[in-house]
Amino acid sequence: MITRLEVDGFKSLREFSVDFEPFTVFVGPNSAGKSNILDALALLSRLAARPIEEAFKQGRGRSIDQFTRRRGEAGQVIRFAVELLLPGLAESGEAAATVAPLPLRAVHRAPRAPDGGGAPRGSRRTAAPRGARR
């Protein structure tokens, strides 16, 4: 069971954390970020099972829109940290295990012009794990 979620840089969630109880309800006005919490959990679930680009593409909206916007520009890092209760560990006397933060960064690339020249046609942004080579 997830007992704590920390998120920074995902949609409207900046330096956000929440402690979960066995039954947790999110209540608030429209545009408060309730759905973004669920989207963050869904993204983490997809990242566990799929390549990073596919996990982002299957989220709501464009991949780059899942990064927090600051001063009109999309951020470059999303940080997650999750604390879990694992049944096997709980039975052995250890109550909780923390999964290390999962840093992500946006890689900005400009595709080549259709004529094969070096002039960029526009910009394309994709997500990659920190330290990954493209």
Model pLDDT for residues 63-101, shown as the tens digit of each residue:
888 888 888 888 788 888 888 887 766 555 555 555 544
pLDDT for 130:
43
- Intervals of the chain under pLDDT 70: 88-134
The pLDDT of residue 20 is: 92
Question: Whose structure tokens read 């919490």?
Answer: 37
Residues 23-44 as b/e (b if ≥16 CB within 10 A, e otherwise) read eeeeeeeeeebeebbebbbebb
Q: What is the pLDDT of residue 131?
A: 46
